[in-house]
Amino acid sequence: MREAHAHIFQLGRSLTMLDCSGCTSRDELLELIAAKSASLNPRDWVLAHSVRPEAWDDARWPSRKELDRASDGRAVCAWCFDYHALAASSAALEHAGIDADTRIDRGVIELETDGTPTGVLYEHAALALWKSVPEPDANHRCSLVRSACEHLRVLGYSEVHDLKAQPWLGPVLSQLQASGEVEQSFQLFPLVPDLDATLATHSEWASDRLILAGIKIFTDGTLNSRTAWMLEPFADKPTTGTPMMTPDEIDEAMLISKHHNLPVAAHAIGDGAVRAVLDSIERTGCTHMHARVEHLEVVHPDDVPRFAQLGVIASVQPCHLLPDIEALNAAIPDRLDRVLPLRSLIKSGCVPGETLLFGSDVPIVRANHEDSIQAAVHRRRKEMPENEAVSIDQSLTEAESIACFSSR
């Protein structure tokens, strides 16, 4: 099978972090952080992932003060499962230099009524804090990549696409392949700012099993954070999200991709972002060069046939539907017919396994392909009644879903 959307290094790192996916309330999360903190040295960070407040009865994130008490004053970074928002303790905020006066472009620092940070950060503000967390050294980094690849191998993946490949990832994977420690083939998509550094060593590590396949851009946020770029405002919040790139910036990335003959893979979750990417592909003449739209969780009906018409690959992670159901029902209850229009994409000309690909976005959600098959076929979580399925008319057969994972 092919895992068409993964983050290898972050997967390896997440395997060493506190897994909060089982927390059903803020109190449970704080108890888990307290237990972890008790096993650490005072200067150690508490790093956690898979927090999902949207599914709690009280959807409020824990405040920095609550995290301070639970962690006995340690630096805490607790990521939302979608990695577009996090909660940080006072020590973590101080370490990152984030306070009430900090301003971060395309980032949000949530504030208390007295003007001090709550500890909840969104988009580029969350990334700014994460960049301040101590990085693993080169040996540990290699070990984390090895662990991630083994995790994916056990799940049955012989081909893996990394959609945010660090400049050092190609050399590390080449080394692991040469030593026989890693069996899969890989396609790497570095961010545009990392392209030059990646190209500088490309000839040293590239092979038929390790390919520089394109470049990655982020055009919007996520539905859970209400930062997905929408054509119309969310039902529960008077905003159309947070575009992470302007149309001119998207065009510039497309022209860079065209210059290097490396297709763009564009993170676009909201229907506004999807349209902006398709418009740019058409405007810049990047049609039929294997450009990819990643996620496309919400798509306007007018844009569905444009994928096949423009020769654009729809790289979808149906498994996102499972944790996103509450957010979808709250944010776009009037537009659920636009959610993951898989059947319409096939009817308009997308071919499973060729121009309609499935992946997971691991470690955002787990990489088990059965989750995406559940979402694509049944359009709901297993324990949910049939009448709570989201746009059941867009469902696929199990055979079609498996074909979307097939490596050719």
* Confidence band, pLDDT 50/70/90 cuts, at residue 225: confident
Q: Would the CA dihedral through 217, 334, 225, 47 be positive or negative?
A: negative
Q: Which tokens hold the place of 347?
A: 């009817």
- H or E element that contains 3: strand 2-6
* Average pLDDT rounded to a whole number, residues 15-37: 94
Per DSSP, which regions of 35-128 are E strands? 46-51, 76-80, 85-88, 107-111, 117-123
pLDDT digit string (tens) for 108-154? 999 999 999 999 999 899 999 999 999 899 999 999 999 999 999 99
pLDDT score for 57: 86
pLDDT score for 318: 98
Q: Is 90 exceeded by the pLDDT of residue 381?
A: yes
Q: Is 90 exceeded by the pLDDT of residue 83?
A: no
**Pure H helices in 22-113:** 26-37, 64-71, 90-96
Q: Cα(133)–Cα(44) distance, rounded to whole angstroms?
A: 10
Across the chain, what does the average pLDDT equal?
A: 96
pLDDT score for 86: 95
Q: Is 80 exceeded by the pLDDT of residue 408?
A: no
Cβ atoms of 15 and 47 closer than 8 Å: no
pLDDT score for 14: 92
* Confidence band, pLDDT 50/70/90 cuts, at residue 81: confident
Q: Is 90 exceeded by the pLDDT of residue 12?
A: yes
Q: Which tokens hold the place of 215?
A: 């470049």
pLDDT score for 159: 98
pLDDT score for 59: 85
pLDDT score for 119: 96
Q: Is 80 exceeded by the pLDDT of residue 162?
A: yes
* Average pLDDT rounded to a whole number, residues 175-192: 97
* Average pLDDT rounded to a whole number, residues 3-31: 95
pLDDT score for 19: 93
Q: Cα(325)–Cα(311) distance, rounded to whole angstroms?
A: 30
Residues of the chain with pLDDT > 90: what percent?
Answer: 91
Q: Cα(69)–Cα(256) distance, rounded to whole angstroms?
A: 48
pLDDT score for 355: 98
Q: Cα(117)–Cα(100) distance, rounded to whole angstroms?
A: 6
pLDDT score for 82: 82
Edge-to-edge strand list for the sheet holding 85-88: 18-19, 46-51, 76-80, 85-88, 117-123, 107-111
Q: Cα(119)–Cα(335) distance, rounded to whole angstroms?
A: 32
pLDDT score for 98: 96
pLDDT score for 167: 97
Q: Is 90 exceeded by the pLDDT of residue 388?
A: yes
**Which amino acid is residue 104, in one-letter code?**
I
Q: Cα(155)–Cα(181) distance, rounded to whole angstroms?
A: 16
